[in-house]
Amino acid sequence: MNSSLRTKLSISYVAVALICIILISIFTTLFVYKHFEEYVKQNTEQKNREIVTTLSGQYMGNGKWNTKVIETIGVSSMENGIILKVKDINGNIIWDAKTHNNGMCQRIIEHMSNNASRIPGRGKSGYTEVPYTINYNLNKVGTVEIGTYGDNYLNEHDIAFINDLYNLLWAVGIFSLILSLLFGTVMSKRLVSPIARVINTAKAISKGFYSDRIKEKSNTREINQLTVTINDLAENMEKQEILRKRLTGDVAHELRTPLATLQSHLEAMMDGIWPADSERLKSCHEEIVRISKMVGDLEKLARYESENFVLNMDTFDITELAKRQIHNFESEFLSKGLELKLTGADCRVYADKDKISQVLVNLLSNALKYTPEGGMVVINIQYNDVNTEISVTDNGPGIPGEDLPYIFERFYRADKSRNKLTGGSGIGLAICKSIVLAHGGSINVQSNIGKGTKFTFTIPKI
């Protein structure tokens, strides 16, 4: 059945209360039947024994009885609803309640019968007279027959007690039911309201409203975790959406600029406005090279990000690799008046040499592109038990704080106006990131505007 959480919770509360009430009623009834019956029996027996003891005190010896006191005992017993018949050793009646007042005895028996019928199963055996022996100095001197209505007969006080008990049980039962219904409703409301909000937000997210967030806090840990997860999901989706939109725009933009240049140049040459000389053709060629590089970079990135990307792992000297790259970049750095240094420890790593070399190349070419004349770039290599840490630090212009979270996304450029100048397309760092992640390492950036930028990546030890 596809019923709501609120209904299910309320039903559960009421069901638990009902089960408790039924169990308490069953156990109480069993207790009353077993222990109370025992108690009543013992009580009656004790009272009867007391009567017998009092009667035996009235024997005066030589077959003589204190008939006056016996009559008083008999009458007061009748007033308490007990019918007595006292006989001497020969069976001669000393005192008989029925002879004394038969009408009252009949009323007592009738009353007992009424009481017995009020509680089912009571007084089944009907009115009987139970004989007790009266002893004097351990010798039998007579008998007394005490009238009872079955051996599990309950008198008025006993019945009143049981009725009160059952009334109390009913009251507690009804009260518990109302309370459980109230609790169930309140608790389910408290649980369901935040879940309903999570559902609404999740629905909004599924419709593309990624900026929706759940702000209310719940005092249920699991609901809070659900809320945080949905908010994180929304934030991630929002980020992805922003990046997706920007990516489409950026790809179009990156392609449009060189294509427009190419188109205008070619049209001018075709229309005879410009001569198709080697300089014009060279300029067209440069634009084509730029587009090819960009497409090549994109292809590379797609390959690195694909699940089938296989690393060619080997152990090699990373310091040696850094030195070789410094050698390769030397002339470019020199011609721009930049200093390039290597510091840190000699270290061997287990990684894909070509791909790590690509990361270094990208970071060094960025440092070269963005650091102004007279600046300095330092490669530092450190290691510990867990990983090897390689950093490339420059004292260039730095990257604005708001751009730092996006710097490793493809096509993202902190300063778009510098694009033409630097010739970058914003794919270099995305490639670095996918290579480092494929190695199980991490890459991050620290930057201060006007002071410089430090890129650090790690390669885990095996």
Q: Quickly list H helices, 336-374.
A: 353-370
Shortest spacing between CB 450 and ligand ADP, in angstroms: 11
Q: Tell how strand 348-352 and strand 339-344 pair up.
A: unpaired
Shortest spacing between CB 245 and ligand ADP, in angstroms: 18
Rounded to whole angstroms, what are the CA distances from 128 to 82, 98, 112? 12, 14, 11
- Residue 57 contacts by C-beta under 8 Å, 6 or more apart in sequence? none
Q: Using CA atoms, how far apart are residues 333 and 375, in angstroms rounded to an integer?
A: 10
Question: Is residue 393 a contact residue for ligand ADP (CB under 6 A)?
Answer: no
Shortest spacing between CB 458 and ligand ADP, in angstroms: 18
- Rg of the chain's alpha carbons, rounded to an integer? 52
Question: Is residue 329 a contact residue for ligand ADP (CB under 6 A)?
Answer: no
Question: Is residue 453 a contact residue for ligand ADP (CB under 6 A)?
Answer: yes
3-state DSSP call for residue 269? helix
Question: Is residue 379 a contact residue for ligand ADP (CB under 6 A)?
Answer: no
- Residue 36 contacts by C-beta under 8 Å, 6 or more apart in sequence? 158, 161, 162
Q: Which residue is nearest to ligand ADP (CB)?
A: 424
Nearest partner of 17 among 175, 147, 127, 202, judged by Cα: 175
Place of tokens 């009266």: 134
Shortest spacing between CB 361 and ligand ADP, in angstroms: 11
Number of H-type helices and E-type strands within the chain: 11, 13
Shortest spacing between CB 185 and ligand ADP, in angstroms: 57
Shortest spacing between CB 403 and ligand ADP, in angstroms: 7
- Is 63 or 337 the residue whose CB approaches ligand ADP more closely? 337
Structure tokens at 26: 């069953």
3-state DSSP call for residue 109? helix
Among positions 407, 435, 436, 459, the unique one binding ligand ADP when judged by CB under 6 A: 407
Question: Is residue 142 a contact residue for ligand ADP (CB under 6 A)?
Answer: no
- Is 10 or 362 the residue whose CB approaches ligand ADP more closely? 362
- Exposed e or buried b per residue across 106-115, where buried means at least 16 C-beta atoms within 10 angstroms of its C-beta: eebbeebeeb
CA dihedral 299, 304, 306, 310 (to 10 degrees): 130
Place of tokens 């200093």: 339
Stretch that binds ligand ADP, among 145-153, 264-272, 345-353, 411-419 (CB under 6 A): 411-419
Question: Is residue 425 a contact residue for ligand ADP (CB under 6 A)?
Answer: yes
Question: Is residue 415 a contact residue for ligand ADP (CB under 6 A)?
Answer: yes
Helix, strand, coil percentages in the chain from 3-state DSSP, rounded to 5: 60, 20, 20
- Is 59 or 412 the residue whose CB approaches ligand ADP more closely? 412
Among positions 201, 394, 435, 436, the unique one binding ligand ADP when judged by CB under 6 A: 394
Question: Is residue 413 a contact residue for ligand ADP (CB under 6 A)?
Answer: yes
Q: Using CA atoms, how far apart are residues 84 and 413, in angstroms rounded to an integer?
A: 115
- Is 126 or 372 the residue whose CB approaches ligand ADP more closely? 372
Q: What's the DSSP call for residue 405? A: G
Q: Which of residues 346-375 bind ligand ADP (CB under 6 A)?
A: 362, 366-367, 369-370
Do 325 and 453 touch, CB atoms closer than 8 A?
no
Q: What's the DSSP call for residue 460? A: E
Among positions 74, 142, 344, 428, the unique one binding ligand ADP when judged by CB under 6 A: 428
- Is 396 or 441 the residue whose CB approaches ligand ADP more closely? 396
Shortest spacing between CB 320 and ligand ADP, in angstroms: 24
Q: Which of residues 258-297 bind ligand ADP (CB under 6 A)?
A: none
Among positions 74, 147, 344, 396, the unique one binding ligand ADP when judged by CB under 6 A: 396
Shortest spacing between CB 232 and ligand ADP, in angstroms: 26
Question: Is residue 429 a contact residue for ligand ADP (CB under 6 A)?
Answer: yes
Between vectors from CA 150 to CA 148 and to CA 156, what angle results, nearest 5°?
70
Stretch that binds ligand ADP, among 71-79, 106-114, 266-274, 425-433 (CB under 6 A): 425-433
Q: Tell how strand 139-149 and strand 313-317 pair up.
A: unpaired
Shortest spacing between CB 397 and ligand ADP, in angstroms: 6
Shortest spacing between CB 365 and ligand ADP, in angstroms: 8
What residue ranges bind ligand ADP (CB under 6 A)? 362, 366-367, 369-370, 394, 396-397, 399, 407, 412-415, 424-430, 453
